[in-house]
Amino acid sequence: MANAERNKKILLELVKQGDNSRCADCGAPDPEWASYVLGVFVCLNCSGTHRSLSSRVKSIKLDNWEDDWVENMRSKGNASVRALYEKAVPVYYYRPQQSDCAVLREQWIRAKYERKEFTGEMKYPPLAYTTGIYEGMLVKKGKENTRFLMRKFVLSDREFTLTYYNRENEAKGPKAVIPIKDLNATFQPEKIGHANGLQLTYQEEDHIRNLYVYHESAVEIVSWFNAIRAARYAYLKTAYPTGTDKELIPMITRNYLKEGYMEKTGPSRREPFKRRWFILDFQSRKLFYFNAKLDAEELGVIFIGTESNGYSVQEYVPKRTRGNKWNWGVAVETPDRQFIFMCENEREQKEWVDALKQVLSKIMSPQDYAKANAKHK
């Protein structure tokens, strides 16, 4: 009993020190679990994947620890283990955070400890990250319907393109050739309804185009994601030759700042409110709205500038509105007009206002000023 209490006290002191104070895999604060085989402190969510790897996970507060396990934790710890297992992570490889979806976090852990992809000792690293070309089958949602069908995709960082083909008509040539220049990839498991769901978005003439895809293999879909990141990184190094990795890495791919349904009316406010799916993109400073959440193309887009340029956002108390089912309002002011949106509840209202204010507080670039001159739809 004395040893158990002493060991618990040692572990609680160790977990406060340096890198140990955050999960070794996703960075979550105050981890309460540890793999005594690997010698790392991890959060509850990541501990589940470690259990499946048989890396002997225990609670540092609830379980009894043997002396040699504690000594292994003391001699290793998150920093030294990371130096070994993350020694050769490609600069473009996405390192999942606490808020990321399960498939990203699980495959990061498996890539590190199970497949040992980043120790620098692999003779043949994964092809997705090294060859400049990656191809395979993905299940894709139809543009005008809800059917998901198998399609062939080919990614090339030499041509900076992502091409896909209709499986039945592959001999007729590609269905679409997508430039890497404006391509974004983000995991959307809940939105797509599949644990491995990935949304691909790119610019097509004067609007954006969304592709919704998945693969039954978690390894394969994460490989596709990081292959796209590798190609995007290669493009950015060409487009911005003086850009540093610190500047370029955030531009490779991005999650959207906020998504969800709000009700929207027209500029005269005489039109009834209709429910629309909204996406707020922090990088482009644009608020897109769609008829439904899995639509291929947007109905419209609103540029969000800064307060000094005539933009503002605030909570809105509805007056004489027509057709709205929700009562928590958001008013977005632009130089052209005022937009009124209605949220389902107070929490959604606060989240939308806070997210829009984040964009408002972002300094505008010369490219942003050019976008601001474009007419709001």
Please give the pLDDT value at position 365: 85
Shared-domain flag, residues 266 and 341:
yes
**Contact 161/179 with Cβ under 8 angstroms?**
yes
CATH of the domain at 321: 2.30.29.30
Specify if 121 maps to a domain: no
Q: What is the DSSP letter of 33?
A: E
Asked if residue 84 and residue 157 are part of one domain, the reply reads no
Helix H segments across the chain?
2-14, 44-52, 67-75, 78-85, 102-109, 189-192, 218-239, 245-252, 346-360, 366-372
Q: Considering the domain boundaries, does residue 188 fall inside one?
A: yes
**Residue 10 phi, psi (nearest 5):** -65, -45
Chosen domain end from 249, 269, 290: 249
- Structural domain contains residue 164: yes
In the numeric block, the tokens 């969510």 are attached to 45
In a domain, 339, yes or no: yes
Q: What's the domain count of the chain?
A: 3
- Examine the domain organization and report whether 99 and 139 are in the same domain: no
Considering the domain architecture, whether residues 349 and 294 belong to the same structural domain is answered as yes
* pTM of this structure: 0.92
Q: How does pLDDT run along the chain (377 residues), one tens digit per residue?
A: 568 889 999 999 999 999 999 999 999 999 999 999 999 999 999 999 999 987 789 999 988 999 999 999 999 999 999 999 999 999 999 999 999 999 999 999 999 999 999 998 876 666 666 777 899 999 999 988 889 999 999 999 889 999 999 876 667 789 999 999 999 999 999 999 999 999 999 998 889 999 999 999 999 999 999 999 999 999 999 999 999 999 999 999 999 999 999 999 887 767 889 999 999 999 999 999 999 999 999 999 999 999 999 999 999 887 766 667 899 999 999 998 999 999 999 999 999 999 999 999 999 988 777 777 654 44
294, 362: one domain:
yes
Check whether residue 244 and residue 297 sit in a common domain. no
Q: Are 51 and 149 in the same domain?
A: no
Q: Has residue 43 been placed in a domain? A: yes
Say if 127 falls within a structural domain.
no
Residues 138 and 238 in one domain: yes
CATH number at residue 3: 1.10.220.150
**Residue 376: its pLDDT value, please?**
44
- Domain co-membership, 147 together with 79: no
Last residue of a domain, one of 214, 249, 284: 249
| Boundary-marking domain end, from 114, 144, 160 | 114
Record the tokens describing residue 348, joined without a space: 């959604």
Residue 125 forms part of a structural domain = no
Residue 93 is part of which domain span? 1-114
**309 shares its domain with 285:** yes
CA-to-CA distance for 218 and 96, rounded, in angstroms?
14
CA atoms of 319 and 195, how far apart (whole Å) = 42
Q: Is there a single domain that holds both residue 147 and residue 205? A: yes
Whether residue 95 is found in the same domain as residue 72: yes
Classify strands 148-156 and 133-141 as parallel, antiparallel or unpaired: antiparallel
Domain contains 128: no
